[in-house]
Every structure is written in C-alpha cells, then in structure tokens.
Amino acid sequence: MALLTVQDLTLGYEGRTLVSHLNFSLEEGDYLCIVGENGSGKSTLMRTILGLQPPVSGQVLFREGLKSSHVGYLPQQTPIQRDFPASVEEIVRSGFQGRCGLRPFYDREEKAMARENMERMGVLDLRDRCYRELSGGQQQRVLLARALCAARKVLLLDEPVSGLDPKATGEMYDLLEGLNREGLALIMISHDIGAALTYASHILHLGQQVFFGTREAYQNSAVGRRFVEREGDSL
Amino acid sequence: MIGTLLHYLEYPFVRYALVVGVLIALCSSLLGVTLVLKRYSFIGNGLSSVAFGAMTVATVLDMTNEMTLVLPVTVLCAVLLLSAGQRAALKGDAAVAMVSVGALAFGYMLMNIFSTSSNLSADVCSTLFGSTSILTLTIREVVLCIVLSVAVVAAFVLFYHKIFAVTFDESFAQATGTNARAYNLVIAVIVAVIIVLAMNLVGSLLISALVIFPALSAMRVHKTFLSVTICSAILSVACALAGLLVSILGGTPVGSTIVAVNAVAFGIFSLIGRLKGGVSRG
C-alpha cells in the first residue's frame, strides 16, 4: 500500500472551493513537488494532509501504522519566531514533543537523536546559539533538523527556500536530496519550478487544470509545458 | 534602618506579606515569556478586570468565600480569550481590551449601586492599585497562596517542554501530534490562577507589569528559553522583595513600589543587553 493516499479530496474554505476531487498517492522514497499559482490551494492541501484543517470532502489515508506524529513538517516561519529567545538545541529537541505524549521530559535516546539530526544538518556547532541571531539558511536547517526528529517516513515542506540567498538555497536542495536518497519521502510546495523539475520524482500541479504524475510526464504534458514557459518568462 | 526592618519582621503579618509576595512574583514571572511572544501582554489586565468584576458580584451577593466565584469566572475567561486564537471573530488585543474595560465598568457600577461600605472610592482604589490587604493576610489565605503557588510551579515544570513547543510553533506542534489546543488550555488556566493570586499584591491595574516586566528584562540579556525563564523568575522574586521592603520601610504603596522596582530593573537589563551587543528587540 502507498505511504499516503489522497482520495477524492475537495478543499476550500468559506464556501469557496479551491481543489475538487483530487486523487494521488505517495510511495516510499518519492519526491513530490506541489506547484501552481498563488491561491490554488497548495498550502491548504498541505495543512489538510497534516490534519490541521478538515477537508470539505474526501480523505487522506496514511499507510497502516503511520500516524500524523510520524510526519515531519517544515512550516514557513512565523513572526513570533523572529523574536523568540531559544537555543538551537531547544528547538531541535522540541521535534520529539509529538511522541512524548504526557511524558514531561526528553529521554536519553531522544537527546542523542536530536544531536545526530543537528549533525546531519550541519548545525551541531550552533547548538547553544540563539535561534534569532542565525542567518536565514541556518534557521531553515535548524527547523529541518527539528522536522527530522518528528519524521519517520514522510517530510512535508512549505516553500523551504523562500527568502534564502542562492547559496543557502543550493545547500538546502542538496540536503533535501540527500534525505530523499536515504529513503525519506518528501512533499514540497515550491515556487521554484526549475528546482522542482530538477529534483522531484513526481509533480502535482494545482490550478485550473490539475495534473499528477512523474516529472517526465509533466514536462511532456500541455499543462506542464505552459506553466514552465510562463514561469520561465517571469524569472 | 536594619534595626527598623528587624523590628518589623517580628510581626507575623509582615512575614506573611513577604512569603506571599515572593511566591506570587515567582509564579507570575513564569509564563511571561510565553504571553509576551504570543502577543498577549495585556492578558493580565484583561483577566484581572474580570476578576475585579467577579469580586464585586461576590461582594454584592455577600458570599463568604469570594474565591469560589472569582477563580472559576477568571479561568473561564482566560480559556475563552487564549484558546480563541486566530479563528475568533474578535482577535487577540481587541478581545482582551473589550473584556477588560467591560468588566471594569460593570464591576464599578455594581459597587456604586450596591455599596456596602461608606468609603467607596478607597475600596475601588485599593482593588485597582493593590491594597494594604497584603499586610492583613490571615494564615488561611497564606496557606491557600502557598498551595496554589506550588500547583502553578509544578504544572509549569511538568509542561515546560510542551509550553515551549506550543509557543514556538503551534502549527508544527499540532501537525506532529502534540495536542496544542489542550496545552493552550493549560496555559490559560495557569495564567488565570496567577492573576487571581496576584490581584492581592499589586491590584488589577498593575498586574500586567508583574507578568511581563521580568520576562522582558530577562529577554534583553539571555538568549535561550531556559535561561530567560530562570532569570525572569529570579529577577521577579528579587524585585518583589526589594519593593516590599521599600514599601514597608518607606510607607509607599506596595503594588506600585514593586512595579517601579521592576521598571528600574528593566532599564538596567536593557543597558546590560546593549553593552553586551545583544539583540534590542523584544
């Protein structure tokens, strides 16, 4: 069975339908990019998959044994975080909160794994530093390390490179590619169609026309060609 | 001066006031960081006005134990204000402001209509700015305060990591399986208990100072959540002690003296923060 199956999903709010009757599935090791214009329902879809928002109709099914607490999430930054006095280590460890249940403190294994994830993301040296003093790229890597603490199989990313400079953007994509190779399935909202076509294995295009399929199929489809052309012009 | 102080300390009511003052200062500082960052700095004022309103109702009804009405009403309002969050029709500051002034007006009106005392303005003044009632505590009130304080500190320590996770990133916490709503509820209840406790010390109008000043001061200098929390707790206790001693020796009003000491501490911490080249945002 697929890791995640979206069945006949209709999304929207306040009576406005954004996406109707959407079907797709995600297999282990997939790298899915969600593309489409602003307001086409990309973030709403992601919030629905995460269980933060109920769908209008249809459902999101996880493979048996996979729960929402096994999903990692890299949200967009909020204004609160820019003022937040917190060390890198405190933030990364908070990724385990979902599995803690009512247990008040982190156990030794979790602390060790947090350390490991910081090392994987190259922020171990920064662990005692204050989050708000880091560069944008460093902050994203910290949040990625936190997401890894929560993720077993799937990682959802909401525009992980927005606001990053080209160098940090490149590093971020490299890190994500590495994680995907290690077997983590990725679902990423992206405004960067070029990167989506470079790294993704599958593309979900939301908008007037909906497309789901492999990257190659998308590049050969009418909707894909048109979108790539338009985005290429606006760059 | 030390002699005078020692003389005063021989009186049990002075010792009670110091114990209660320190405990309330400790409790009120704990959630300051969370409230400041969630943009709820004024929740203290809102809730204490509600507590004031509830207290006048209790007085009018001639209830023997006001707490049985005041505490539940304040907890209920805290839950409504804090858990409404983003989805509410009236958002954060507007809702807090509305509840705050509404309850204040309602309470004052009730006090006027059903006045039981001959000196109304003094009654109102002492509820708003904290009274000498901190110096007239009975042993029962002291015990109640100790019990509630222990409960607040215990709840805070047990939920510390969850409060951090929910404050730092509510969406992430909720998405990865933390029951963010439940913990927002826990935060609301703790806040309400603290406010009701602290009303005795500084009164409804100055209560926000006790909640946010220590956190803001600590945030000038410290940079991790743990160090900010510990620093603001210590600072709050120190300021309360200093304020109480000054007001006992100098005969100044208790509440406003403590707040003044907190304000001075904030100035000093800002200066230290700037000298250390730290961040000057808050």
Question: pTM of the prediction?
Answer: 0.87
Q: What percent of chain B has pLDDT over 90?
A: 27
Chain B positions with Cβ closer than 8 Å to A = 33, 37-39, 157-162, 164-165, 167-169, 171-178, 219, 222-228, 279, 281-282
The pLDDT tens digits along chain A (235 residues) read 788 899 999 988 777 888 888 999 998 889 999 998 888 889 889 989 888 888 888 888 888 777 666 788 999 888 788 778 999 999 999 999 888 888 889 999 999 999 999 999 999 999 999 998 998 899 999 999 999 998 878 999 999 988 889 999 999 999 999 999 998 999 999 988 888 899 999 999 998 888 999 999 998 888 888 888 887 665 5
- Predicted confidence band at B282 (pLDDT cuts at 50, 70, 90)? very low
Show me where the domains of chain B are located: 2-275
pLDDT of residue B233: 95
Class of CATH domain B2-275: mainly alpha
pLDDT of residue B239: 95
HEC readout, A89-102? HHHHHHHHHHHHCC
Residue range B43-54, pLDDT digits in tens = 888 888 898 888
- Using the predicted structure, report yes or no on whether residue B249 has a pLDDT greater than 50: yes
Closest-CA residue of chain B to A50: B175
Query: How far is B174 from B179, CA to CA, in rounded Å?
Result: 6
Which of B153, B176, B226 would you mutate first to test chain A, the one with the most A CBs within 10 A?
A: B176
Closest-CA residue of chain A to B223: A85
pLDDT of residue B164: 93
Show me where the domains of chain A are located: 78-151
The reply to whether residue B222 touches residue A128, judged by beta carbons under 8 angstroms, is no
pLDDT of residue A226: 86
The reply to whether residue A52 touches residue B228, judged by beta carbons under 8 angstroms, is no
- Predicted confidence band at B229 (pLDDT cuts at 50, 70, 90)? very high
Least confident of A152-161, B60-69, B115-124: B115-124
The reply to whether residue B223 touches residue A133, judged by beta carbons under 8 angstroms, is yes
The reply to whether residue B168 touches residue A99, judged by beta carbons under 8 angstroms, is no
- Using the predicted structure, report yes or no on whether residue B17 has a pLDDT greater than 60: yes
Please check whether residue B228 is in contact with residue B163, taking contact to mean a CB–CB distance below 8 angstroms. no
pLDDT of residue B218: 95
- Using the predicted structure, report yes or no on whether residue B66 has a pLDDT greater than 80: no
**What is the per-residue DSSP string for chain B?**
-HHHHHHHHTSHHHHHHHHHHHHHHHHHHHTHHHHHHTT-TTHHHHHHHHHHHHHHHHHHTT-S-THHHHHHHHHHHHHHHHHHGGGSSS-HHHHHHHHHHHHHHHHHHHHHHT--SS-HHHHHHHHHH--GGGGG--HHHHHHHHHHHHHHHHHHHHTHHHHHHHHH-HHHHHHTT--HHHHHHHHHHHHHHHHHHHHHHHHHHHHHHHHHHHHHHHHHH--SHHHHHHHHHHHHHHHHHHHHHHHHHH---HHHHHHHHHHHHHHHHHHHHHHTT-----
Residues of A in contact with B37 (CB under 8 A): 80, 83-84
